Structure 1
Amino acid sequence: MTSDADTLRAELRARLPDPLPNRLGVAVSGGSDSTALLRLLADIAQQEQIELFAATVDHGLRSGSASEALTVAALAQHWGIPHETLKWQGWDRKGNLQDQARRARYRLLAKWAESSALQAIALGHTADDQAETVLMRLGRAAGVSGLSAMSGMRAESGITLLRPLLAVTRSRLRNYLTAQGISWIDDPSNQDQRFDRIKARQALSGLDQIGITPQTLARVAENMGQAREALAQYTQESALRHLKGLDGDLCVDREGFGTLSEEIQRRLVVASVSWIAGGEYPPRHKAVGQVLDALSSAQTATLGGCIFIPDCKNTWICRELNAVSDEIAQPGIPWDRRWIVTGPKTEDAEIRALGEDGLLQLENWRSAGKPRAALLSTPAVWTGDLVVAAPVAGFANQWRAEMLLERSDFAAVILSH
């Protein structure tokens, strides 16, 4: 007879890559979800002969957080798993605490993964977490992408994140731990009603009478995830038909763009801004709508550090000068997080935006084939007030400007949103 522990392991394994990475990390807070994940992965790692590593992020926000990290370290050592505590330092106590802590957590885990040569990190998010996320996003009138909530696998901060427990409830994991004689830590902040997630958790507990349970909301998220993937595929196909990339910018065929549904138009605008300007969060719905109006009427607009420039039958989407006017880098060092400019050794050379002063020094900038305003934010090589080179603007002078490999593929950005 198959035990629930065996069933859990099989369900978890089915939601992990095949084959597993040779070196796999797991984030463990000490709560029931991540503790169960660590134990289950330890069994799988032993069976499949891979190396497993654990890390605990100590946010330092509670007096007991350090001792909790020590408890996790002792448990990992007992199971023969290398463990490291990652401490969050430098919080200025401004802004949204949970958002700041989440960002810091992923940054710390990404650095740990890089230093430990880990190929992926498993996280202990469960069906309950998924359900709470869906409930909160319903309250914000989220669309398909928002309601798809967390994905089972995604790249963030340069590392692959795995969430193999999204279909498993917290109560089931706690029953598993109890049967195994394994204890866990209850975080007192999980009762703090200042946080929206805790409010959603408590609200969810009263909705089961009408069939709204963690399992059903997790299935809603999975269904929305499939719809999101289908929309992303169609958005990518639309981009290939109606958008063309040139040296880090995008040129939109307005007539063809206008034949698309508003949902696809929105997705293309959001993906374009993300590809050109980066940013952790997509622009707001209302702001995107204003840009769509500007596109349809061939007007100039700005959004998320990008400028939309009408030019005959097209509109160019480019980096906005104001967003990069203070950016300075040395040759060979990333500029604006997406350009690498290299060339002959030149004393006192630095990379800055071309700008109005730089463009006035160029005679043949029109050969670049872009509107004047689009060239102002491109990288140029300066020595003092003199432009030595502006490769994107048609003045190479033995210098090259190349996009970072991870920022060079617009189609990949579309499929990730």
Structure 2
Amino acid sequence: MTGAPSLDDRFAADMGRLLGPDFPTDIALAVSGGGDSMAMLALAHNWTRAWGVRLWVVTVDHGLRPESAVEAEMVAAECALLGHPHAALRWHWDGQGNVMDAARRARLALIDRWRGGLRHVLMAHTEDDVAETFLMRLARGAGVDGLSAMAPLRRVVPHAEVPPAVQDVCGVTPPGPWTPGYDIVRPLLTVRREELRHYARVLLVPWVEDPTNDDPAYVRARMRHLLGALSAEGLDAGTLAATARRMRRARSALVARTADLARAALRAPGGLPPGVLVFDRVALAASDAETRLRLLSAALRWVAGAEYGPRAAPLEALAERLDAGGRGTLHGCEAEAMRESLWVWRDGAALRGTAIPAGAGLWDGRYRIEGEDLAGLEIRALGEDGWAQIPRPARDGATVPMRVARAAPALWDGTRLRAFAPLDVGPRHVVVDTRPTFMQLLLSD
């Protein structure tokens, strides 16, 4: 009688499902030094040796605890023992915002700057992480999206163009060429934390316990403690994680239905500025309220260039106003129900202070201007001053309302408008949106 598969066999099977049958020649692994990631280092070591894949290991030292540098050195020593290149990336927090959220964003961005041409980064999220996240989001009143289990394979694009090299790095950097975006691979989402600890103990793998895991100042630590109490009532990590996975299946079905509505309702009037979405109101009205709400949330997220959509209560309030033929602002966007169409565009107030010299980078974090004779010019929103400088025939023939056009990128020479692509004003130039398209964002999982 064959026994249960080993953890190594389960890991190999999940890697095959996620990346097979043609595995990459090189793959990265993020290791913090904690029990989960150190156990995964041992698993990945065995798997890469069996399949002929080169493993690159990276540790992001957030510098939030005095011990973090020593822990990064421990990871480096273990990698040297196993024969894998390792790099430690140091992050310096500026003290702004929520530290845990800032650390998460910094981790993704630093790895993106370090990874060279690597396209896959393994991360050791476990079934316990899924259950804890479920409880955290349940406490915030999340719906299907928030309660869905994290994806085992997720595409992230921290930088749309080649980022600067990491300055504070100790170790080896993979070769290029760099291309936008990489895949986070999570093959341990059905593995319990204690299974990994047991695996590490048997193989004498070193690890450290992060004291913040038990610090009640952090919400995840409180949820971890609560999960222990709930287990006595049958609400253990496995049960909650299974519910989160069912939520994920439901979310996938809702995403597909929302994408169908987008295909039916999305319109593209001539001369539409970049970053503007227009939907046919008749097509929207033929759909159900939940799907319309999801489409509106995705539209606001894409237009704003935000990582997440708006919270449910203000989103529902805006949807009610739009259904009634009104307008409103939310999430750095404006939205208005016009006679036959629903328009969503960037809120001009959110663009203050975003002016940059032409050719100096991405305007508003997303647009690059390409053309000739751009030297000495500046990119900033058209605004009302720019609209007033557009020749009267072009304004009169515009298919885009002034309140929409004024938030679009334009080329300026001091106070003088030099060019505005949507109305073919000024020297020829092209505005390139470096982000995924709206439909790509909508279908991303």
Q: Classify the TM-score, shorter chain.
A: over 0.9
Q: CA deviation at 1:187?
A: 1.3
Give the whole-Å Cα distance in 2 for the aligned partners of 1:369 and 1:42. Answer: 59
In structure 2, what is the Cα distance between the partners aligned to 1:375 and 1:210?
Answer: 57
Look up the equivalent residue of 1:413 and give its one-letter code.
L
Q: 1:320 aligns with which of 347, 359, 362?
A: 347
**Matching residue of 1:398:** 428
Q: CA deviation at 1:396?
A: 5.0
**Alpha carbons of structure 1 residues 346 and 175: separation in structure 2 relative to 1, 3 Å:** closer
Task: Indicate yes or no: 2:300 matched with 1:270.
Answer: no
Change (3 A) 1:352 1:270: same
Residues 165-204 of structure 1: matches in 2 within 5 Å? 165-204=188-227
The aligned counterpart of 2:71 is 68
Q: Tell me the CA shift for residue 8 of structure 1.
A: 3.4
Aligned match for 1:97, one of 90, 96, 99: 99
CA distance in 1 between partners of 2:416 and 2:155 (Å) = 41
Task: Tell me, yes or no, if structure 1 residue 82 matches structure 2 residue 85.
Answer: yes
2:338 corresponds to: 311
| 1:205 equivalenced with 2:232 (yes/no) | no
Q: Is the 8 A contact 1:132 1:201 kept in 2?
A: yes
**How many Å separate the matches in 2 of 1:14 and 1:205?**
33
1:46-101 CA-partner distances (Å, limit 9, x unpaired): 12211111111111111211111101100011000100111111x23343222222
Deviation track 1:183-215 (CA, whole Å, cap 9, x = no partner) reads 321111111011111111111112223322212
Question: Match of 2:214, as an amino acid?
Answer: Q
Query: Is the Cα contact below 8 Å between 2:145 and 2:248 reproduced in 1?
Result: yes
Closer, same or farther: CA 383–276 of 1 in aligned 2, 3 Å: same
Deviation, structure 1 residue 366:
4.1
Q: Residue in 2 aligned with 1:133?
A: 133
Question: In the alignment, what sits opposite 2:117?
Answer: 117
- In the alignment, what sits opposite 2:143? 143
Q: Check the 8 A contact 1:25/1:122 in 2, yes or no.
A: yes
CA distance 1:199–1:176, change in 2 (3 Å): same
Identity of aligned residues (%): 36
Contact 1:392–1:401, Cα closer than 8 Å, also in 2: no
Question: 2:363 is aligned with what amino acid?
Answer: W
Which residue of the partner structure matches residue 154 of structure 1?
154
1:368-415 deviation line (CA, Å, top 9, x unaligned):
4111211001111111221111011342532222322x33x1111111
Distance 1:401 1:173 in 2: 49
Q: Which digits, 9 at most, give the CA deviation of each residue in 1:287-341, with x for residues without a partner?
A: 1112102211221211111111333221211112112232223334322222222
Give the aligned partner of residue 13 of structure 1.
Answer: 15
Matched, 1:345 2:373: yes
Contact persistence 1:309–1:374 (CA under 8 A)? no
Could you tell which deviates more after superposition, 254-263 or 225-234? Answer: 254-263
Q: State the match for 2:262 in structure 1.
A: 239
Q: 2: distance between equivalents of 1:401 and 1:323?
A: 19
Distance 1:394 1:366, change over 3 A: farther
Question: Are residues 338 and 99 of structure 1, via their aligned partners in 2, closer, same or farther at CA, if it must alter by over 3 Å?
Answer: closer
Match of 2:163 in 1: none
Q: CA 1:5–1:310 in structure 2 vs 1: closer, same or farther (change >3 Å)?
A: closer
CA displacement at 1:256 relative to structure 2: 2.4
Task: State how 1:350-365 maps to structure 2 within 5 Å.
Answer: 350-363=378-391, 364-365=394-395
Q: Please give the alpha-carbon distance, in whole angstroms, between the structure 2 residues aligned to 1:37 and 1:343.
A: 48
Conserved 8 A contact 1:148-1:221:
yes
Residue by residue over 1:154-195, the C-alpha shift from the partner in whole angstroms, topping out at 9 and shown as x without a partner, is: 122232111110000011111112222223211111110111
The 3-state SS of whatever aligns with 2:229 is: coil
Q: How many pairs align?
A: 412
Aligned residue among 358, 369, 388 for 2:399 = 369
Larger mean Cα displacement after TM superposition, 294-303 or 242-251: 242-251
CA distance in 1, matches of 2:128, 2:374: 58
Secondary structure of the structure 1 residue equivalent to 2:397: helix
SS in structure 2 of the partner of residue 293 of structure 1? helix
Q: Does 1:286 align with 2:318?
A: no
* 8 Å Cα contact 2:122-2:185 kept in structure 1: yes
Q: Distance in 1 between matches of 2:102 and 2:17?
A: 29
TM-score normalised according to structure 1 size: 0.94
State how far apart, in whole Å, the 2-side matches of 1:267 and 1:355 are: 30
* 2:52 counterpart of 1:49: yes
Q: Which amino acid is the alignment partner of residue 335 of structure 1?
A: W
